[in-house]
Amino acid sequence: MLTELTSAPSRPASASSPALSVIIPTFNEVRNVPILVARLGEALKAIEWEVIFVDDDSPDGTAEAVRQIARTNPRVRCIRRIGRRGLAGACIEGMLSSSARAVAIMDGDLQHDEKLLPAMLGKIEAGADLAIGSRFVEGGSSEQGFSRVRQRGSAAATMLAQRLFGVTLSDPMSGFFMIDRAAFEKLAPKLSTRGFKILLDILASSRGSLKVVELPFVFGARQHGESKLDNMVVLEYLGLLLAKLSGDRISIRFILFALVGATGLAVHLLALHQALAFSVPFNWAQTIAAFTAMTWNFFLNNQLTYRDKRLKGVAMVVGLVTFYLVCSVGTVANVGVATWVYGAQPLWWLAGTAGAIMGVVFNYAASSALTWRDA
Ligand code: GDD
Ligand code: MN
C-alpha cells in the first residue's frame, strides 16, 4: 500500500526543467496577461516551456491575475517585486530565477510576435548565443506599433548605439530576444538594472563575444494599456551610453546627477537674471536663484536619477529639506576647493572647474546617503 503510494508518479513527466523560460516584465498589463498566456500555449505546443511574469507591484492587479492563471496552469509563475521599478532590472531578475537552457524576453502588451519563439529557440539550440527579434531586417517592421515620433527617436538611438559601440546589428534596441543561459549568466553581473535598453547593455557588455542572429518580426500595435517609455527613459538611455563608454567606471546614476546639475546651473542663471530685472538686491537675488536651482535639481533628480527610489508625500518634503542641507554644505566644499586651487595656481577656469567637480561629487555622495538612502 505504502510502496504503491510512494512509487506513484507525483508529478507529470514535464517535471524536468523546461527547455525555454519566457520572461515577461509587466507594469499595469492586467488585461493583456490572459491573452498572452493563451497565445504562448498555442505557439509553443511542441516545446517544454514556462512563463515568468515579473511584475513591479502594478496597481491594476496584474500580479494577482497571473497567480490566478498559475493556480491551474503550472507553466505560469509570478514574481511580484515590491518597492522597485525598472524594466531592465525586472528582466534580469526573471532570467536569473529560471534554470532553462534558453531564456526569452518579451513585452507583456502583445506587441511582440510569440510565433517567432520556436524559430529563436531553434537558433539557440543550433549554437547561437543570442537570437534577436528585429523590426528592421528584411521582413520586419515597426510601423504599426510606433508613432512617427517614436520611429524617428528609435532610429536615432539605434544610430548612436551603432556608431558608439560598433554594433552592426539592425535592431539593438529591440525588447524581444532569446539568450543562451550560460552566455547570460556570464554577463549578468555587468548589466545595469536601469532603463529599457537591456539588449544594448548585453551587446555592449559582451564586447562582441556573442554569436548573434537576427530574425525579422512585425512590431504590432499595443492592445490594452499604455506605453511606459517616456522622456525620462530617453535620458536614462543617454546615461547608459556614457556609462558604457567609460567602461563602467562611472555609474549611470552619477552621470544623470551631473547632467541634472548642469541644467540646474542654467536655471540658476535664469532665476538670477529675472530677480535682478525686478531690481532685487544682488545678494538676495543670488539666494533666490540658489534655492530655485536646488529645488529644480531635487525634483528632477527625484524623477530621473532616483526614479527607482522616488520619494513621495511626506518623505518627499523631508527629502527636499535634506537636499537643501546637502547642497549648502556642498557649496562650502566647492568654494573651499576652488579657493585652495586658485591660491596654488591662479587660473580662474581651473579653480572654478575643480570647485564645481568637488561640489557635484560631494552632493552626489551625500544626497545618495541622506536624501535617497536605501530604505
Ligand atoms: N516590471 C516592470 N517594471 N515592467 C515594466 C516596467 C517597469 O518599470 N516598465 C515597462 N514595463 C513592461 C511593460 O508592462 C511591457 O510589458 C514591457 O515592459 C514594455 O513596456 P512598454 O511601455 O510597452 O514599452 P514600449 O512598447 O514603449 O517599448 C518597447 O519597444 C522598444 C523598442 O524601441 C520595449 O520592448 C522596449 O524594450 C523596446 O526598446
Ligand atoms: Mn509596448
Mean pLDDT on 294-314? 93
The answer, yes or no, to whether residue 366 has pLDDT greater than 60, is yes
The DSSP secondary-structure symbol of 178 reads E
The answer, yes or no, to whether residue 5 has pLDDT greater than 70, is no
For ligand 1, atom 30, name the residue with the nearest CA.
Answer: 175
Lowest mean pLDDT, pick from 5-19, 47-61, 146-160, 213-227? 5-19
Kindly state the percentage of the chain with pLDDT values over 70.
96
Ligand 1 closest atom vs CA 90:
1
Neighbours of 47 (CB within 10 A): 14
For ligand 1, atom 12, name the residue with the nearest CA.
Answer: 26
Question: Binning pLDDT at 50, 70 and 90, where does residue 89 land?
Answer: very high
Q: Which of 27, 51, 147, 240 to mutate to test the pocket of ligand 1 (most atoms within 8 A of CB)?
A: 27
Give the strands of the sheet with 130-134, arranged side by side: 76-80, 49-55, 20-26, 102-105, 177-180, 130-134, 212-216
Residue 278: HSE in the Cβ half-sphere, 13 Å Cα cutoff: 11
The answer, yes or no, to whether residue 8 has pLDDT greater than 60, is no
The label of the residue with cell 529639506 reads 321
The SS3 call for residue 104 is: strand
Kindly state the percentage of the chain with pLDDT values over 90.
61
Neighbours of 55 (CB within 10 A): 29
> For position 167, what pLDDT does the model report?
76
Q: Which of 300, 170, 182, 292 is nearest to 231 (CA)?
A: 300
> For position 142, what pLDDT does the model report?
79
Taking the C-alpha atoms of residue 263 and residue 192, their distance in angstroms, rounded to an integer, is 24
Lowest mean pLDDT, pick from 54-58, 124-128, 237-241, 250-254? 237-241
Ligand 1 closest atom vs CA 86:
8
Phi-psi region of 248 (alpha: psi -120 to 50; beta: other; left: phi over 0): left
Q: Which CATH class is domain 2-230?
A: alpha beta
Sequence spans of domains, the chain: 2-230, 252-371
Contact yes or no for 108/26 (Cβ under 8 A):
yes
Q: Where are the alpha helices (DSSP H) in 27-171?
A: 33-43, 62-70, 87-96, 117-125, 148-165
Contact yes or no for 237/195 (Cβ under 8 A):
yes
Question: Binning pLDDT at 50, 70 and 90, where does residue 4 land?
Answer: very low
Question: Binning pLDDT at 50, 70 and 90, where does residue 78 land?
Answer: very high
| E strand segments, 223-349 | none
Contact yes or no for 196/157 (Cβ under 8 A):
no
Ligand 1 closest atom vs CA 150:
33
Taking the C-alpha atoms of residue 33 and residue 25, their distance in angstroms, rounded to an integer, is 11
Lowest mean pLDDT, pick from 93-107, 131-145, 166-180? 131-145
Q: Which of 142, 138, 140 is nearest to 155 (CA)?
A: 142
Contact yes or no for 357/351 (Cβ under 8 A):
no
Mean pLDDT of the chain: 89
| Ligand in closest contact with the CA of 222 | 2
> For position 14, what pLDDT does the model report?
54
DSSP states along 80-101: E--S---HHHHHHHHHHT---S
Ligand 1 closest atom vs CA 24:
16
- Say yes or no: CB of residue 105 within 6 Å of ligand 1: no
| E strand segments, the chain | 20-26, 49-55, 76-80, 102-105, 130-134, 177-180, 212-216
> For position 222, what pLDDT does the model report?
85
Mean pLDDT on 323-331? 93
| Ligand in closest contact with the CA of 111 | 2
Lowest mean pLDDT, pick from 138-147, 245-254, 275-284? 138-147
> For position 7, what pLDDT does the model report?
43
Q: Which of 51, 57, 82, 107 to mutate to test the pocket of ligand 1 (most atoms within 8 A of CB)?
A: 107
Lowest mean pLDDT, pick from 194-203, 227-236, 320-329? 227-236
Q: Which of 196, 201, 223, 303 to mutate to test the pocket of ligand 1 (most atoms within 8 A of CB)?
A: 196
Ligand 1 closest atom vs CA 176:
35
> For position 162, what pLDDT does the model report?
82
9 vs 255 pLDDT, higher one: 255
| Ligand in closest contact with the CA of 29 | 1
Neighbours of 321 (CB within 10 A): 11
